[in-house]
Structure 1
């Protein structure tokens, strides 16, 4: 994972340079809120009993946002700078999360903490510090484990 300050998001490919975006139209972009990341880490304990401090890039999301509650239902719409995204489903973090820290995968599951997966409705260039607005927030869906 590489942190960048500016990136181009397109309808057909998602975030420029991301290998998954072009392959999956309903999964072009993943977005995670820093508040959800911190909540997940707060459920974990380091070997010494202290807090766990992992960089947000461990989660492997395309975009990290702050100060906004992401829609927790399909059909939610958010704008990041000039880009408009539609929530298609909650992001399902992979087993690599537990490789990074035991229990992280489970800690990301509640309340869509792993973020949202989105289709791109309107592309453009996003830059660190761009405004993030929720345009549509349908009633929340609570995912349940089988």
Structure 2
């Protein structure tokens, strides 16, 4: 079993809105990460982007490819919800990620880096492209409140 820790939580309430980092948040099947506009269930939506995750190791590798020191660009600039540390995220749809006591997320697809990454730093989009460094998109299967420091494990 692959396991690690939740190292960060972020959300933003509107497109291009400011990112807020928090230490604890409720994650539901109806709204994804509470207070994040992307996770809300839309009747016509695919539910593929209810929640997003990236690894600290993948983010650091991308910055290293750009000859930037770890932390030169904070992880939340990637505009993902969760930062995982010490774990390899699955690269296959349908696998389950457990966080904390109850939260279960189903992997929907890779979170492809967008052109917005180029606004942050030239070359960042390309640096996030290999090996799913840009993270994963998932849907909430079982709700829960999560906290920075919670255990993360993969169920295959």
**Which residue in 2 is equivalent to 1:13?**
31
1:93 offset after TM fit, Å?
A: 2.0
**What are structure 2's unaligned runs of at least 5 residues?**
1-18
RMSD: 1.2
Q: Write the distance in 2 (CA, Å) between the matches of 1:27 and 1:6.
A: 20
Matching of residue 3 in structure 1 with residue 9 in structure 2:
no
Equivalent of 1:43 in 61, 65, 83: 65
**As a proportion of its length, which structure holds more strand?**
2
Equivalent of 2:104 in 76, 84, 90: 84
Q: Write the distance in 2 (CA, Å) between the matches of 1:38 and 1:116.
A: 16
Equivalent of 1:71 in 87, 90, 93: 90
1:13 offset after TM fit, Å?
A: 1.1
List 4+ stretches of structure 1 deviating above 6 A.
Answer: none
**Which residue in 2 is equivalent to 1:129?**
149
Deviates more, 1:51-60 or 1:10-19: 51-60
Q: Write the distance in 2 (CA, Å) between the matches of 1:127 and 1:27.
A: 21
**Which residue in 1 is equivalent to 2:126?**
106
**Which residue in 2 is equivalent to 1:120?**
140
Q: Write the distance in 1 (CA, Å) between the matches of 2:105 and 2:83.
A: 14
SS of the residue corresponding to residue 105 of structure 1 reads helix
Equivalent of 1:60 in 70, 79, 90: 79
Q: Write the distance in 1 (CA, Å) between the matches of 2:114 and 2:93.
A: 20
**Which deviations, in whole Å up to 9, do the C-alpha atoms of 1:29-60 show, x marking residues without a partner?**
001110000011111035xxxx4711001111
**What are structure 1's unaligned runs of at least 5 residues?**
137-146
